[in-house]
Amino acid sequence: MASTSQEVPVHRDVDTDAHGWTGAVRRDPAYAAFWLLRVGFVVLPLWMGVDKFFNGLTDWPDYLAPWIVGLLPFSAQTAMYVVGVVEIVAGVAVAVKPRYAAYVVALWLAGIIVNLLTWSGFYDVALRDLGLLVAALSLALLARAYDPPLRRAHAGHEAAGRAA
C-alpha cells in the first residue's frame, strides 16, 4: 500500500523578504504555530519557575505526592526551588534551541504527570499537563523544520582539510 504522507523537511529556511518575520508568520501557518509554541514554552516555564520561589500562584509544595516528599533528603519547598531552577533552565533552552529543548520539556511534563496521577485530587491538572506535553512534542516536530540542527564543531575542520 502506497503512503500518501509527504516527507517533513529536516530544516527549511523561512523567506522573510521585505515584510520580515511577521510576513513569514502570515504566509506560513506552520511557521506561525512553531513561533506560538516556542514563545509559550519560553514564557510559561520562566514564569512558573520564578513563581516556585514566591508561591504567588499557589502553594507549590502541596502538589508533590507524599511518596516523593518521603524520598527527598530535604523539604518539599526546597524541592520546589530545584523545580523552579529546572523550569527556568528549560524556558531558556527552548528560547535558544527548541529543536532539542522541546523534548526535555516533554519529559519534564511526563514526570509532573506521574507525580500528579499518584497524588489523589490533581487529576484535572494532570490532564492539562498532558495537553502541554502534546504541545511540547508538537513544538519538537515543528522545530525539525524551522530550527536548524547543531553543527558539529569539527565538521568545519574536516571540510577545510579536504579542500587543502
**Helix boundaries (H) for 52-118:** 66-71, 76-96, 98-117
Domain carrying residue 92:
27-148
Query: What is the tens place of the pLDDT at every residue in 49-94?
Result: 999 999 999 999 999 999 999 999 999 999 999 999 999 999 999 9
Considering the chain, what percentage of its residues have pLDDT values greater than 70?
Answer: 77
Instruction: Report the number of distinct structural domains present in the chain.
Output: 1
- In-domain check, residue 9: no
Contact predicate 119/70, CB 8 Å: no
Q: Residue 113: which pLDDT band, with cuts at 50, 70 and 90?
A: very high
Does the residue 164 lie in any domain? no
Give the pLDDT score at 157: 53
Please, what is the Cα angle at 97 between 94 and 102, to 5 degrees?
50
Stretch 129-139: mean pLDDT: 98
Query: Is residue 81 one of the residues assigned to a domain?
Result: yes
**Nearest of 74, 83, 34 to residue 55 by alpha carbon:** 83
Residues of the chain above pLDDT 90, percent? 71
Tell whether 79 is covered by a domain.
yes
